[in-house]
Amino acid sequence: MHPDDGPFSLSLLAKEAKLPGVVLLTLWFVLLVLTLLIYFLLGSHQQKIAVFLFILMTLLAIGITAFYIRKGFIIVQEQQAVVVERLGQFYAVYQAGPHIVLPFIDNLRGMRIRAPDSPQNFIDLDYIDLREMTVDLPAQMVITRDNVQVEVDSVVHYRIADPKKAIYGIANVVIAMEELIKTSLRDVIGGITLQEVLSGRDKINAQLKQNITRISEDWGVHVRDVGLQDVKPPRDLLDAMTKKQAFITEAEGKKRASIAEAEGEAEKIRTVYGTTDVLLKIKYLEALEKIANGQATKVFIPFPNDPNQAGLFSNLMSFAAGLGEASAVKDFNPGSGGQNPKPTSANPASPSPSAGKPEPSKPVQKVVKSQQPVVKRPPSPPSPPGPSEKA
């Protein structure tokens, strides 16, 4: 019995009464015939007994009639429906509100639902429950496409949209929905791998809903939602997957740290040196400084082929001259298109005969335009004295 049933609700129907209506009506006719026989056979001196029996049978008949009239008036509650069969054929679906059924002619069809508290685990209702029902199936073992057994727990929310189809489309719509959910779950998960089961839960839910809806529509059932509550792989496999994910996470962390460090170093270089050209110029000047601090008397400096860099090398030459270890460069302009200066002779001109004793010539640093690497050479020896000095 539904907890909302009232005194004139479906619980008063006599389709499963202790005495069927046909038996009660037959008993009433038997008593009526017996009363008439007693009245006419016993004579006038026993008429009082016959009258008493007649009155008793009449009251019984009135009571039976009132009982069936009361049963024939039903009130269907909200979110309920009643399928009515008249003389064995479908007649109508009674929705919420008051209705009249004909005793001995109309038959009411209901549904069977699960009831864990009942000894049979089921109870029969004399109506169709139109409210949304939730099927929370116990966890079941399912094999994936890569032969891995997983424990899956699912839940489905549905309601009966067409009571007529729910009664005549399937024997028991509640049990049929549970079996359909289990079958669809095995079919969907059996066609994908374990990784897809763990990562594509939304896709699985959509596929389950599509498969269940396609079949349950013929039963007058509307499926609102299907979902996987939990997926549990085997314990050893779960531990291995956890370790693998930890290694992947650690590697990704190191990768991000290396990228961040490299980006920081690059930003530091850009901040200190500005651009690549400035960096090359500074490095070039640092190399010239090391050369100038050396003991070489000749330094070969590569000159640019690009005239646009003439200003750079002019500055470099000025820097070298400022150190006091490079000779001045006269009329040097690499960008003017003129000829490159030729290196001066290492030996000075011989003195005239009338000149005094010559002084030893000082080593002079020569600047030669060349594409060759820097070569250090020993200083040239002083020139020998002239003939006048020998005399």
Q: For position 221, which CATH number holds?
A: 3.30.479.30
Which residue range forms the structural domain that includes residue 316? 293-336+364-382
- pLDDT value at position 223? 94
Mark which of 185, 216, 233 sits at the end of a domain: 233
Whether 100 and 154 map to the same domain: the answer is no
Residue 328: CB atoms within 10 A of its CB come to 10
For the question of whether the overall pTM of this predicted structure is more than 0.85, the answer is no
Q: Strands 367-370 and 299-302, how do they pair?
A: parallel
- Taking only the tens of pLDDT, the chain with its 391 residues reads 344 443 334 443 434 444 455 666 677 777 777 767 766 776 555 667 767 777 777 777 777 777 777 777 888 999 999 999 998 899 999 999 999 888 778 888 888 887 767 677 778 888 899 999 988 888 888 988 988 888 898 899 999 999 999 999 888 898 899 899 999 999 999 999 888 888 888 899 999 999 999 999 999 999 999 888 888 887 776 666 677 777 788 888 888 888 888 888 777 776 765 555 666 667 667 776 777 666 655 555 555 555 555 565 566 555 555 544 444 444 444 444 444 444 444 444 444 444 444 444 444 444 444 444 444 455 555 555 544 444 3
Domain count, the chain: 3
The answer to whether position 284 is within a domain reads no
The answer to whether position 269 is within a domain reads no
The answer to whether position 73 is within a domain reads yes
- pLDDT value at position 313? 57
Mark which of 112, 142, 161 sits at the end of a domain: 112
Phi-psi region of 184 (alpha: psi -120 to 50; beta: other; left: phi over 0): alpha
φ and ψ at residue 224, rounded to 5 degrees? -90, -45
The answer to whether position 120 is within a domain reads no
Whether 90 and 143 map to the same domain: the answer is no
- pLDDT value at position 70? 74
Whether 56 and 90 map to the same domain: the answer is yes
The answer to whether position 259 is within a domain reads no
Whether 14 and 108 map to the same domain: the answer is yes
Whether 45 and 86 map to the same domain: the answer is yes
Whether 65 and 143 map to the same domain: the answer is no
The answer to whether position 171 is within a domain reads yes
Whether 106 and 140 map to the same domain: the answer is no
Whether 99 and 137 map to the same domain: the answer is no
Whether 102 and 145 map to the same domain: the answer is no
- Which residues are CB-neighbours of 114 under 8 A, at least 6 positions away? 121, 122, 174
The answer to whether position 14 is within a domain reads yes
Among 40, 14, 189, 164, CA closest to 103 = 14
φ and ψ at residue 119, rounded to 5 degrees? -60, -30
Whether 143 and 108 map to the same domain: the answer is no
Q: Which long-range contacts (CB under 8 A, 24 or more apart) does 310-317 make?
A: 310/334, 310/335, 311/335, 312/281, 312/284, 316/284, 316/285, 316/288, 317/367
Whether 97 and 153 map to the same domain: the answer is no
The answer to whether position 117 is within a domain reads no
Q: Angle at which helices 21-41 and 47-72 pack, to 10 degrees?
A: 160
Q: Strands 221-232 and 299-302, how do they pair?
A: unpaired
Whether 103 and 158 map to the same domain: the answer is no
CA 175, CA 112: separation in Å to the nearest integer? Answer: 9
